[in-house]
Structure 1
Amino acid sequence: MRMQRWVQAATLAAAAVGPAGAAGGGGVSVGAAGDAVDMLPTFKAVYAATWNGIKLGEITLELEREGTYCYRYQSHARPRAMVRMFYGEPAETSHFCLVDGAVKPVRFRFDHGDDSYELDFDTVDSVVRGAGETRELPDNAQDRFGMHQAVRAWIMRQAPEPPEGDFTFSMVEDDRIAEYTLRVTGEESVKVPAGSYDAFLLERIDPRRIGRFWVAPGADYMPVKVENGKDGDVQLTMELLRYTAKDDAPEASAGES
């Protein structure tokens, strides 16, 4: 298993979570269902990853603001010693902006030695440049890391009710563009090291691939646990360990209310 594939799988939907241990309470306030999301709460969160029962180490995710509607989203893996010896410590960074409540990617970078690459998203010309080529950009395109926050905005738009319908997006990587579909399939209570949460069960719609994400309304409508696998077997589990909220909302400028 290559380390970058672990980081990609382990962080597939895990993103910001709210006050640890807040079962069914707390979380970000949102407007009525259907309102556009105009702000994403920022955070620093640490998750534990396990592969087939073997502890891989920790992944830190951090969302920071870059202006009023734009953000920088970063990951850094801190694997256990034996894993680090063979695969290093890869990192991912996504820059994106909220446009009409939807996430629009701007730039993505994957840092891992010879496997590093960068993608630049040009929504004006509808192309993505990087990895040695220029490709046509689908309207629903997301980079493989920033898509976490795209899912988050979709869920928040329908909150406080469980999101209805499907969320379908095209994930852009260095060597391919693949379509993914997610759907809420139930409601469950889940306990992770950070606390207990009432959650929606969000699943990837794919007959061969397992993708389960426990999304907690009391945790800013984001996953507190994720499972990934294939052919009926769960291979990777990821759970929230620690979370720190950031209070860095931009101040209104003169003339804004």
Structure 2
Amino acid sequence: MLCLLFVATAPVSAADRPAPFTATYRVLQAGQTIGEATITLKAVGADVWEYSNQSRGTAGLAAAMGASSSETTRLRWRGAMPETVSYDYRMDAAIKSKHRHTDVDWKAQKVSVDDGKGPMNYPSAPGLVDRNLLPFALGLALRAGQKDITLPVAVKREVEQQHYRVTGEEDVSVPAGHFKALRLERVDTDRAYVAWYVPARYPVPVRLSQKGDGDLELQLQGYRQP
């Protein structure tokens, strides 16, 4: 879909990078709590970091089916923004399981996606992120003062240019507290994605609502740094 010249990763000092953190969320569906999620950012090497999202069902059908999911992104830094190096997704439940692995070969400018049926390949793009890393990348863009954000996102068969815009400021109450938050919406699709950020305090949303993928909502419960 895209054929772009390779752009070398710009050097970035440790001071420019977000500090490692762990954020915990309450997961709701139709207003009812069904689970919990833990998001963690940590360094795993000199130039490689890991951003993971572990969730599990704690109530209702999600708990009865033993539902859990794991998303792990290995990333590098391009300036002050993250770029995906690899992404692993796994969902397990009593009746089925799913898995997907994505690799980004930055030298060859190629993305490879394999969900167990053989790899699909397509060209990469500078600044590429995956769906797991996306909310974090949006938070960093907001922290840098952006209000109209376009990010290349690796999906199953192509790089998708996704567009997000700050549409206002709202009062938000979640288990972690009461905040004056920026409301960020995806504006290039009918699939509703709305997230509320307090970028001066957190690089991840305090609340996130996504329709069409289980109609789930995440609400921040806690945030800590080592």
Q: Tell me the residue number matched to 1:112.
A: 91
Q: Tell me the residue number matched to 1:135.
A: 122
Q: TM-score, normalised by structure 2?
A: 0.79
Asked if structure 2 preserves the Cα contact closer than 8 Å seen for 1:108 and 1:119, the reply is: yes
Task: Please list every run of 5 or more consecutive structure 2 residues that lacks an aligned counterpart in the other structure.
Answer: 1-14
Against the structure 1 CA distance between its residues 54 and 167, is the aligned structure 2 distance closer, same or farther, given a 3 Å change threshold?
A: same
Q: Deviations over 1:122-151 (max 9, x none)?
A: 122110123123221133421111222322
Matched, 1:50 2:28: yes
Q: CA deviation at 1:203?
A: 1.1
**Which amino acid in the other structure matches residue 202 of structure 2?**
D
Q: Distance in 2 between matches of 1:183 and 1:112?
A: 30
Q: CA deviation at 1:224?
A: 0.5
Matches within 5 A, 1:188-227: 188-206=170-188, 208-227=190-209
Q: Tell me the residue number matched to 1:73.
A: 51
What secondary structure sits across from 2:107 in the alignment?
A: coil
Against the structure 1 CA distance between its residues 172 and 190, is the aligned structure 2 distance closer, same or farther, given a 3 Å change threshold?
A: same
Q: CA deviation at 1:85?
A: 3.6
Matched, 1:59 2:37: yes
Q: Deviations over 1:95-126 (max 9, x none)?
A: 10112222111111112355212111112211
Q: Distance in 2 between matches of 1:38 and 1:64?
A: 15
Against the structure 1 CA distance between its residues 151 and 120, is the aligned structure 2 distance closer, same or farther, given a 3 Å change threshold?
A: same
Q: Distance in 2 between matches of 1:143 and 1:105?
A: 6
Task: Please list every run of 5 or more consecutive structure 1 residues that lacks an aligned counterpart in the other structure.
Answer: 1-36, 247-257
RMSD of aligned C-alpha atoms?
2.3
What secondary structure sits across from 1:97 in the alignment?
A: strand
Against the structure 1 CA distance between its residues 217 and 170, is the aligned structure 2 distance closer, same or farther, given a 3 Å change threshold?
A: closer
More helix by share: 1
**Which amino acid in the other structure matches residue 220 of structure 2?**
L
Question: Aligned to 1:238, which of 183, 206, 218?
Answer: 218
Identical aligned pairs, as a percentage? Answer: 24
Higher relative contact order structure (alpha carbons within 8 Å, sequence separation ≥ 6)? 1
Q: TM-score, normalised by structure 1?
A: 0.70
Q: Distance in 1 between matches of 2:189 and 2:129?
A: 22
Question: Aligned to 1:126, which of 84, 91, 109?
Answer: 109
Q: Deviations over 1:42-62 (max 9, x none)?
A: 111111111112322111111
Q: Tell me the residue number matched to 2:12.
A: none
Asked if structure 2 preserves the Cα contact closer than 8 Å seen for 1:144 and 1:171, the reply is: yes
